[in-house]
Structure 1
């Protein structure tokens, strides 16, 4: 059977929408105290052999109605690989698992391999469900975390799914390995400057793309004339020339193309050089480069270009001190919103450091003075705020307590009714009435919110000033980044340094420390 891929954004038909509306109406009629379900729909690639998201969702609504569970939400994660992205890191499902877990009791999915494909990910989810009192249900798998047998079955199924995913990965890797040895184009996106076409034998080969090759030849000439990569990129953008991936040109994307041996018409693969990804030539069994197309630059032109680029890069070698900037991501330029970073310079044999915007440039600022100004401003605004932690509170114990109190109240009210067991007057009736009043008082003392699963905030008495005094600038920097706080810096017309502390309105909510429930994930 031919497997034809189609768009995942498949629209709902009128009949499907009508059925969905009916299923929702039936679901809304379930009792308020019914278990609450979250439906999870996931698919990486929709083919003729896979189940569409629409069908998955409709099937899950039917299952929810059959099981008499109220649907509180649907997490739809399309174009997401279950092998690469675990449930808690997916955009929609991750939001529910990390922040909205009090809102549902059971997580339902169409099939286990629609949910997870790595057994280690599954184990993390099982542990999370046990910790937070959740259950898992699959439409097509016998899954039930309330029994030992159910846990064993789910682990076995996940193991089979992981083996299947691993075999798929091996097949894909094998195709790529085969493609590297061929002079035809088997798989992958053509390098910039080339396109694909079929020859008479129906084999796909690389051919030179007129526009792309013209851009590379022009950039090659500009580099030899001493024009910088950043200026060349600006010229290309002003001319409306699309970048390598259809976006804007930058000096980085331009240099990646100019340093790619593929422009010699050779087979390449991505390797690493000096910590950066860079394309390199693929050699055949005899150690020779594999030619797959006509060259845009000859070998001599390519070598001359690389020497020119190397000389240009050495004139500005390591101008920025890596990792030396404190409050990186917090101290930013007011004009372009780029990070202020530490730069090291030497003047008359003396080395000194200063903070400056890498884009706007201009006069630098003394790092320690700027750090001190930021610390002082933050402590004034937030130093007295308590360090709060978000914890998950289970309502099961309070719910059971409330159920027992309500049952006892009903028992005594029926007994005190005319003809009831306590309707005898005297000591028996008086004692029953006192007991009933005591039970009513107990029920009033139970906060209805405490019967629900919920997030609660706790704190250990420390303030953020105390925490930062202990943890130093590193601890403060982490907290400010988490809270989205910015310190905008710029020089005014008088060349005086100005800075503004920008604090989001919901800063206190952002500062709450949320424990990562999936920190043991692999």
Structure 2
């Protein structure tokens, strides 16, 4: 039966790019709109355009059309466009606005640069009611307005706030229905012998038969690699050695690791059966999907027959170690902070059980066998804590806050108006120029107004970020929050600690030296910004 792989066919299709969508007429219209924007007054409201699209189809609105429509809407409202946040292939259900690559940067870091957030339609902007409420709170806090071209949304009125909540509820219901349909499709697909949807297991790829039905076929190079690994396992070869041999033979990518290879070799899908992820036990595994009679569901030709596969697993078990269960959180208290001086990879705590004793070593991921094992990781952690406290402990904790310039702008406008009034009335024929007393009093008042105007910092008239000290040092904060708080701050700031291990003759444990690497702009990075991980901005 003739087959052709879908991967090859897809590779021939032209990848979608926004640039390819712009026609000459679109570009001409864009320039026309920009010229019209240039004629707006200097104090015109500043608009940020939000363009989002999950998947481009014939039924969706292209990013180009969204942007042009939004530019027209901004011009109709007398707003000057200061930026376009274009997030394509992004689900509004899964990714809230503040976590999108472009829009998130504007919301989190560039809020002072715009006054109005303009989007094409509410469901193009947001699809969860909780996310919508968070955005409304954010807009009210920072003095921004949310505007939709195709929905009656205006946060400056009570009716507008109610309307945006109702529309957001409808959008969430629609998103929930879509999620339910997708979940139902997956549940149905798992019970079928035909391959309907999903990513094939390693060793297989998708193809089309003569009737253009999607089927799974064995990938030749993967088949060769898997049977090679089976023969090596029979001889007692380790997974690490298998990875080296596979890479040398060109049958594996440079990114293949022993852990990934073990997971691939233990996948029951290699017998041609349907599998699903087993989420129990804290270890990533696949398990067979059984039909109503309790039998595995075949979906493809087997790479290993059942007896071959189980013999293979027994050979792999002979090399496996009874390792303790992975600790919650991370493999080390400073994961991502400690790096090996030789291979520059992260260092983790490896725990081995020998009989009834547990041994812990600090090892890297790139050196052979993890490099020289460094015992007593707690002592190394304590040395890092001491070094960090001596350098950063006395730095004040500062929190970034949003300062609005509306009050200062109103004050400046009032003073300028008063100054202009007194200057005009002091001119010949003015009300303060008629007598010496009134002139002197007016000049004294004018001087006071000019002095008061000069004392106002122009920066305070603009919306801006300011850093406010909370009265604590990082030493105090870390004493309260413990090592977890320190580790999180070090990762946030970009602080790293190079670990150098040197073999000492006559000793089993190597000599360990730490070198703290702190970015030059660490003070700016230490400033605490609002945490968006809790589902709000």
TM over 0.5: yes
Aligned runs of 1:243-258 on 2, under 5 Å?
248-258=255-265
Residue 503 of structure 1 corresponds to 518
Structure 1: stretches of 5+ with no match in the other structure: none
Matches within 5 A, 1:161-310: 161-242=171-252, 248-310=255-317
Which string of whole-angstrom CA distances, capped at 9 and with x for unpartnered residues, describes residues 322-364 of structure 1?
Answer: 6573333222211122233334567898756443335432141
CA shift for structure 1 position 414: 2.2
1:419 maps to which of 405, 429, 438: 429
Q: 1:375 to 1:204 in 2, by over 3 A?
A: closer
Summarize the Cα distance change of 1:219–1:115 in structure 2 as closer, same or farther, 3 Å threshold: same
3-state SS in 1 of match to 2:84:
strand
Equivalents in 2 of 1:216, 1:117: separation in Å? 44
Map of 1:332 onto structure 2: 339
Aligned to 1:38: 48
Tell me, yes or no, if the aligned pair for 1:8 and 1:78 is still in contact at 8 Å: no
For the residues of structure 1 that align with 2:51 and 2:64, how far apart are their CA atoms?
A: 9
> Which of residues 4, 9, 17 in structure 2 aligns to 1:9?
17
For 1:175 and 1:316, how far apart are their aligned partners in 2?
39
Return closer, same or farther for 1:238/1:24 CA change in 2, 3 Å cut-off: farther
**Partners of 1:321 and 1:343 within 8 A in 2:** no
Q: Determine if contact 2:401/2:467 at 8 Å carries over to the other structure.
A: yes
Matches within 5 A, 1:358-437: 358-360=365-367, 361-437=371-447
- Deviation (angstroms), 1:219: 1.7
Task: Say which SS state the counterpart of residue 182 (structure 2) adopts.
Answer: helix
Is structure 2 residue 138 aligned with structure 1 residue 132? no
Query: Does structure 1 retain, via aligned residues, the 8 Å contact 2:131–2:535?
Result: no
The alignment of Structure 1 onto Structure 2 pairs a total of residues equal to 514
Q: Describe the shift of the 1:187–1:347 C-alpha distance in structure 2 as closer, same or farther (beyond 3 A).
A: closer
CA distance in 2, matches of 1:174, 1:319: 34
CA displacement at 1:468 relative to structure 2 = 3.5
**1:449 counterpart SS class:** helix
Shift of 1:174: 2.1
1:458 to 463, 468, 474: 468
RMSD: 2.5
- Shift, 1:34, TM fit: 1.1
Deviations 1:14-45 (A, max 9, x none): 33233323322332332221111111111110
* Contact kept in structure 2, 1:489 and 1:498, CA below 8 Å: yes
Could you list the per-position Cα deviations for residues 198-224 of structure 1 after superposition, in whole angstroms to 9, with x for gaps in the alignment? Answer: 445443332333332222222222222
> Following the alignment from structure 2 to structure 1, what is the Cα–Cα distance between the partners of residues 77 and 424?
34
After superposition, residues 309-348 of structure 1 pair within 5 angstroms as: 309-313=316-320, 315=321, 317-318=323-324, 323=330, 325-344=332-351
Cα distance per residue 1:353-389 (max 9 Å; x no partner): 4433354321415435433432343233323322211
Structure 1 length as normaliser, TM-score? 0.91
Describe the shift of the 1:320–1:136 C-alpha distance in structure 2 as closer, same or farther (beyond 3 A): closer
Q: Deviations over 1:249-291 (max 9, x none)?
A: 2222222222221111112222213213322211222222111
**Comparing 155-164 with 7-16, which one deviates more in the overlay?**
7-16
Q: What residue is the counterpart of 2:3 in the other structure?
A: none
- Kindly state the Cα deviation for residue 458 of structure 1 after the two structures are TM-superposed: 1.4
Secondary structure of the corresponding residue to residue 273 of structure 1: coil
- Equivalent residues of 1:265, 1:291 under 8 A apart: yes
Provide TM-score, normalisation by structure 2: 0.89
Pair 1:507–1:412, CA change in 2 (3 A): same
Distance 1:217 1:346, change over 3 A: closer
Structure-2 separation of matches of 1:153 and 1:349: 66
